[in-house]
Structure 1
């Protein structure tokens, strides 16, 4: 862009400062013209022997026209006074003097100036009301046009471009809008309409500074070197920034400021609606993909579970029939891997039920000793290399539970203990009855290296696995879901005065709605 010379800038500044003076001179000239015309017409009417009341009406007409065509209440007062003085000077005796010979003229002049003032005031007020109505109509039209165009916008750049065009047209300046990306971070550019009506991209200078100012602005306008910036915010998130040139922002009236804030609110609603729609579409896509994945996993798991059961049964029979140590070792490895696959299939099936909200808990009073024993029996081949200790109270503990699900939870916890315990070390299963809390506590302890402080908060998360350990990270997450479905609690901690960790879960002794 070509820079102005020093002389041109001085001329521009002088012209800009003298615009109000030129406007006042034009209005004054127009007022004097009306009074000259009124006096001329009055002179003709006097020659034609018209009554003085007719000449007064001519001057009142001049006052009405002046108030209607000239802005400002002061000009209305000036026209009223000057019209009265002109009538006195030209048409009352003594002529061509600001004096009166008859007392009745004083009353006439007083009534005339009072009438002129009232007429001027009413005309000015009517004109101001008309202008206000016109401004409100223009504001309503601008907001309506903005809303109408934003309803058809489908992308964030389109919303920003429409908003820039509508606001630039109404405020007659180059409005800019800076919007956020999909990660809710401000882009490093903003859209602005140039004098040719084209939307252009401009790089944001000092983006980090602007972001910090927005964090502490609390909804207030931010004054920059080139723009006044207003944050476009929703209920919780920042959607963008509206930028108005400083020269225009400093001249905004209160009505224009209210309109601008209303338009910002409209843009904010459009952006929030866009993000809400995007979120719904992504969630719908995620749910659909999750449903397909769950169906696929369930189908595969069902197809695998039957032959795995056959493999487990066959290897157990062969182990009982085989005497050769080499063959038994081979069969034990087959049985171990098949049992691991069987547990994995059960966990996957439970996972699909949990994610679909179809994990049904059929509670019945079950003996704790039998459920624990059944879980250990299913893991007996895997537990052979370890020292297993089981501590269960001698009294019969009957707890309302879904025996199949709790057995699966115990199997998962025993498998976890096996994973973290060196061969030959102890694995401890303890059951305690808490009479005060009226629940039964299950504790599965290992003698491994324990749980690190960083891992402890995450061990029940889906697909979380310990470092340098196998598995896919489903067992403990499924245990948590099963225990929570029974109204119990589960947590993990490192053992006191001993190496290793222990996982503890509780089940309530009584079911409130249990019959």
Structure 2
């Protein structure tokens, strides 16, 4: 049984051919040429016995040349048939018979016309046949691509895409092709799908790491012991690999390679479409979870804020009504501090949900740096009246466009964070003007244990708390720094965290533009 495939032959002939051994194919064409020429000679001899004119024999030989060009592999055998027909006509049908000698010079004109006519008809026949084969090949390629694209449209997962790809490539290349899929990280799976027969596939194991290393060295197909591997890529991401058996890949033609590349492109689009759809679904799920979490936090915070305010007021009244030497004063003071911490946490949660929802409107006004630092120190002084915090500000009055309440909260959160991680030691606020970039630079530095390398990349994430907290560090839920980043970003600034270079401790730096770009545009 032969398989119809697109291939190329000598004498510039390309088309749909039966895949046969080349030697047998050549012998078949030679035998067919001799048989057709022999039949033409035999029929011509019969015409001579029946006393038919010689012109009939000439036409018969021209017909044999046309038939040879039609049923053999190309122009070469047509030329050979034309020369053989002229020589046979001279040998069998012109005097002296059974020799190649010519007594009548007029026969030379007959031979020349006969040869030229045979060559022209052979060339025309070959070109028509070649055009038909080319059209047949293009029709085959188009049908394969159409079926592949149609089937890929209905594929619902990567496994279905692999099945469709294996079947289509095997049909187009006339081989037992395989398809290896990759995970979301771009690493090949440990097994791949290969077709054993039409409709019958098998899963085989492979060395994924070695394959990945080979593919990393080239952007095109890479050669292996059993397969030539053609990568399926999208945006420089490896989605899979089409595997063509070595015996087929070594003899692949230019037309076959172009067809294969078109098929790989269609497979790549299908895999990429499926990957994007999965990412879109995941994003929608994450957005829904974020929305539910925000709504839950907002509802809980609203319900807690009112009773906490009442408890704070009551405990503060008890403190004023009780002497400091009375044990009940310490109990009321403890209640006040705990409730104050909870109240600050609730306010942080509410502000964070407003920032995330875009419902917190910035009331930007040019504010003096002294005022915002004074407001922050006043707030933090109530929480830690026994701690000393120093501030270093420019001698000239520095006005910065800001929402003073929100920036005060940023400073309060940073100072509160410094107090938690610095039981004893210096805490310092520094403000300077960056005239080159037109920024006001705020820095809050402490003398605590600093930030570990493992915590530094995640320090501004919501609900992230240090995994290397010291024994003296106080509790936290990981919202303060996330709120700071949201507020500073909303002001058009940046915030960074790091360790001090002049000793132990951490420092947080945030910047605010000295010009209100939104008002400047207006």
TM-score by length of structure 1 reads 0.88
Which stretch of the first structure deviates more once superposed, 488-497 or 459-468? 488-497
Q: Which residue of 2 aligns with 1:231?
A: 231
Q: 1:435 to 1:33 in 2, by over 3 A?
A: closer
Q: 1:103 to 1:391 in 2, by over 3 A?
A: closer
1:271 aligns with 2:276: no
What is the alpha-carbon distance in structure 2 between the residues aligned to residue 218 and residue 335 of structure 1?
67
Cα deviation code 1:232-287 (max 9, x no counterpart): 11122011111111112222222112212221222122111111111111111111
Q: 1:357 to 1:216 in 2, by over 3 A?
A: farther
What is the alpha-carbon distance in structure 1 between the residues aligned to residue 37 and residue 365 of structure 2?
106
Q: Which residue of 2 aligns with 1:487?
A: 492
Q: 1:440 to 1:332 in 2, by over 3 A?
A: farther
1:308 aligns with 2:308: yes
- Tell me which of 476, 480, 505 is aligned to 2:481: 476
1:191: Cα distance to partner? 0.3
What is the alpha-carbon distance in structure 2 between the residues aligned to residue 26 and residue 490 of structure 1?
82
Q: Which residue of 1 aligns with 2:16?
A: none
Q: Give the secondary structure class of the aligned counterpart of 2:401.
A: strand
What is the alpha-carbon distance in structure 1 between the residues aligned to residue 443 and residue 258 of structure 2?
66
What is the alpha-carbon distance in structure 2 between the residues aligned to residue 393 and residue 86 of structure 1?
113
What is the alpha-carbon distance in structure 2 between the residues aligned to residue 394 and residue 72 of structure 1?
96
Cα deviation code 1:153-211 (max 9, x no counterpart): 1100110011111222232321111111233221110001113631111011x332221
Looking at both structures, which has the greater relative contact order when contacts are Cα pairs under 8 Å and sequence separation is at least 6? 2
CA contact (8 A) 1:487 1:507 kept: yes
CA contact (8 A) 1:176 1:244 kept: yes
Q: Give the secondary structure class of the aligned counterpart of 2:228.
A: strand
Cα deviation code 1:445-498 (max 9, x no counterpart): 433233345544543343332322421222122212212322334334545656
What is the alpha-carbon distance in structure 1 between the residues aligned to residue 438 and residue 228 of structure 2?
65
Q: 1:328 to 1:370 in 2, by over 3 A?
A: farther
Q: Which residue of 1 aligns with 2:10?
A: none
What is the alpha-carbon distance in structure 1 between the residues aligned to residue 441 and residue 185 of structure 2?
45
CA contact (8 A) 1:386 1:426 kept: no
CA contact (8 A) 1:336 1:381 kept: no
Q: 1:442 to 1:265 in 2, by over 3 A?
A: closer
Question: Superposition pairs for residues 139-218 of structure 1, below 5 Å?
Answer: 139-195=141-197, 197-204=199-206, 206-218=207-219
1:449 aligns with 2:449: yes
CA contact (8 A) 2:445 2:506 kept: yes
Residues paired across the two proteins, number: 495
CA contact (8 A) 2:315 2:335 kept: yes
Q: Which residue of 1 aligns with 2:516?
A: 511
1:438: Cα distance to partner? 5.5
What is the alpha-carbon distance in structure 1 between the residues aligned to residue 109 and residue 284 of structure 2?
85
Question: Superposition pairs for residues 359-438 of structure 1, below 5 Å?
Answer: 359-390=360-391, 397-422=398-423, 425-432=425-432
1:229: Cα distance to partner? 1.4
Q: Give the secondary structure class of the aligned counterpart of 2:444.
A: strand
Q: Which residue of 1 aligns with 2:52?
A: 50
CA contact (8 A) 2:187 2:208 kept: no
Q: Give the secondary structure class of the aligned counterpart of 2:232.
A: strand
1:352: Cα distance to partner? 2.0
Q: Which residue of 1 aligns with 2:4?
A: none
Cα deviation code 1:114-139 (max 9, x no counterpart): 11111111111211221122112111
1:367: Cα distance to partner? 4.2
Q: Give the secondary structure class of the aligned counterpart of 1:507.
A: strand
What is the alpha-carbon distance in structure 2 between the residues aligned to residue 207 and residue 46 of structure 1?
75
Q: Which residue of 2 aligns with 1:5?
A: none
Which stretch of the first structure deviates more once superposed, 490-499 or 142-151? 490-499
Q: Which residue of 2 aligns with 1:68?
A: 70
What is the alpha-carbon distance in structure 1 between the residues aligned to residue 184 and residue 193 of structure 2?
17
CA contact (8 A) 2:152 2:161 kept: yes
CA contact (8 A) 2:415 2:444 kept: yes
Q: 1:429 to 1:135 in 2, by over 3 A?
A: closer
Q: 1:326 to 1:436 in 2, by over 3 A?
A: farther
1:341 aligns with 2:346: no
Q: Which residue of 1 aligns with 2:353?
A: 352
CA contact (8 A) 2:155 2:161 kept: yes
Question: Superposition pairs for residues 452-463 of structure 1, below 5 Å?
Answer: 452=452, 455-456=455-456, 458-463=458-463
What is the alpha-carbon distance in structure 2 between the residues aligned to residue 137 and residue 343 of structure 1?
74
Q: Give the secondary structure class of the aligned counterpart of 1:107.
A: helix
CA contact (8 A) 1:168 1:175 kept: yes
CA contact (8 A) 1:490 1:506 kept: yes
What is the alpha-carbon distance in structure 1 between the residues aligned to residue 129 and residue 303 of structure 2?
86
RMSD (Å), alpha carbons: 2.6
Q: Which residue of 2 aligns with 1:11?
A: none
Q: Which residue of 1 aligns with 2:14?
A: none
Return 5+ residue gaps in structure 1 as ranges.
1-17
Q: 1:129 to 1:418 in 2, by over 3 A?
A: same
